[in-house]
Structure 1
């Protein structure tokens, strides 16, 4: 059983490494987002405050399901750890392409791009949480890994 747990954690780690490499995003930033979004639970289903829900380790929002159908990614496929990590990385990269490789893009991963003061505050709060976990990971205190 111990070997199986180590193998599963290794597979997840490889997915973060591969997705980060393929998208030119620090894999540790992806890990920090996964820590905040799901505490590394690839089966997590999270309810959104207003409507919809998030799925998997990177909490891919249900509002994206119809868009993802174009790529043959169904909601069920999002329960696959690696697919979910790659999809989350894709959406983070879209945010970075739009606003730059910065903490505002990280905040947009969770809170979108609205310029309303409430959403700006949500972006900042989310980015602050991710930054905290990113710094922990960079100190090699990898929680959940």
Structure 2
């Protein structure tokens, strides 16, 4: 990741963290909900918000406190099921494990991770599947699962 992207990403996470814990006297319309953060994060990172929303639904059914232990020893965390395999990379940007349980931070990191896949594979199902795994069998199965969510929502033909 180049220096400008690093600075922009760090700024986005700082913004997400600031919005994720609004002041006690904030008016209700200024409180950032996970859905608001999802839309902002998708826009900021230039990814399809419907795909990001389907990932969130598939991964956690909207549970921001998700901690799912995998058989390989990793965990999936928060709304978008971000895997702990990414913690070393995220630590370089100052993001810690517990921050991924904050819905807004989770959305920005998920959108960033999806953007990385789209940048590598284009706006394709391969990119969507690679959000989960680069291993073809797992990648393709995951892409189909996300497609099936969109199909159930009647968001794809």
Per the normalisation by structure 2, the TM-score is: 0.74
Map Cα deviations across residues 81-128 of structure 1 (whole Å, 9 max, x no partner).
01001101111111111111111111111112xxxxxx3121111111
Q: 1:14 to 1:137 in 2, by over 3 A?
A: farther
Give the secondary structure class of the aligned counterpart of 1:111: coil
Q: Give the Cα separation in 1 of the matches to 2:154 and 2:50.
A: 7
3-state SS of paired residue (2:76): strand
Structure 1 outlier segments of 4+, above 6 Å: none
Per-residue deviation at 1:51? 2.4
Q: Of the candidates 92, 102, 113, which is equivalent to residue 124 of structure 2?
A: 102
| Alignment RMSD (CA, Å) | 1.9
Please list every run of 5 or more consecutive structure 1 residues that lacks an aligned counterpart in the other structure: 1-6, 113-118, 140-145
Please name the residue that 2:145 is paired with: 129
Q: Give the counterpart of 1:34 among 56, 74, 91.
A: 56
Report how many residues are paired. Answer: 126
The aligned residue for residue 68 of structure 1 is 90
User: What is the distance in 2 between the residues matched to 1:90 and 1:71?
Assistant: 12
Map of 1:22 onto structure 2: 44
The normalised TM-score by structure 1 is: 0.79
CA distance in 2, matches of 1:64, 1:24: 21
**Contact 1:32/1:137 (8 A) holds in 2:** no
